[in-house]
Every structure is written in structure tokens, then in C-alpha cells.
Structure 1
Amino acid sequence: MQPTHQFRRLIATVPPSCAVIGLAVATACVRVPELEDRLTPDLRGTAYPDLIPLDSALATSPAPAKESQPIEQSLEARAARLQARADALRNAQP
């Protein structure tokens, strides 16, 4: 058997998914200067951010409507005070 015939038979037995994985691994090793050269010198020396546990990162936060209630109430009270002040100023002018 000639070497090219053995190679063809080997290629014919490799499933397409393995070929795709092999190509993906081969391209992952390529250096992409367009991406690497975009970092400024001050960013190159920066440390990586701290990792946090996934549970705390995905923790549920309170609903925005419930969380914004105190702010909404304080803004409504301030608007009422400003409106009363504006009415008093309008009534004070002759």
C-alpha cells in the first residue's frame, strides 16, 4: 500500500465532527496581531480582576419597582413642597 492510499483511507474514516474540532484547535493557536496590538501599555500591565463565586454573581436582586419606591416617594414629596412654594410666591406678588 502506498502512503497516499493509507492517508486517504484514514481521512475517510475520520468523522466530520472530529475534523471540525481539529480545525478549531489549529486556528486557536494562531496569533492575531490586530487584537493583541490594541491594548495600550497601561492595560498590558494591569492585573486580572478578582474572580467571584457564581452564586453571588447570579443572586437575585430586589425588583426595581420595590427598590425605587423610597426614591419615588421622596421625589413626590419634594415636588409637592416645590409646588406649594411656587403657589405661595405667585400669591405673594401683587
Structure 2
Amino acid sequence: MQLCQPAGPPTTGPAEHGVWAMQLWTQIAIFLAVTAAAACTRVPELEDRLTPDLRGAEYPDLLPLDDALEPLDPPQQASQDLQEELDARSNRLKRRAEAVKNAEL
């Protein structure tokens, strides 16, 4: 079985096209099997970091996202805050540019 196939199916006939498609699906299946096997590999560097008390600990209680996250500002308020911040930054940059322009070299 060749691992490197041409970019598309051969143009000689339907029988060759079927063989090409079967080889392609076989390669895909082998790739997926190897990937799945690698995903199930034990990683001692990660597993050995857990202390015995953490290994036996219960999972923490789940919180609803509404309680866990800080509420967002309304879009109008966030937009106004952003505009004020950008205006202040623009004014600071203009003052710095004016100071550089007027500085003696």
C-alpha cells in the first residue's frame, strides 16, 4: 500500500477509482486510530502532580453562570465609557505631540 497518493482519483476507469477511494478511506481510518490511541496515552508528568488528597477529593459544586460572572454594563453605558476613554487618550496624545513639537533640540 502506498502512503502517498496522487491529488485526485485516477482517470483510467471506475474500477481504479474504487480502489483509490478505498485506499483513501483506509488511510483516514488508520490516521484516526493512531490519533485516538495517542489521545488515550497516560501522561505521567500531569498525573503525578496530583497529591493523594486531590485525587480523592470530590468535584466542586457547579455554580450557575449568572452567579459566577460579574454582570456586564448595558451596551449604552459601555459604549459611553469607551468613548470617554478614547477621547481622553486622544487628548493625552495630542498634548504629548504638542510637547514634542515645541521641545528644544
| TM-score, normalised relative to structure 1 | 0.38
Q: Name which structure has the greater RCO, CA cutoff 8 Å, separation 6+.
A: 2
Structure with the higher fraction of residues in helix conformation: 1
| TM-score, normalised relative to structure 2 | 0.35
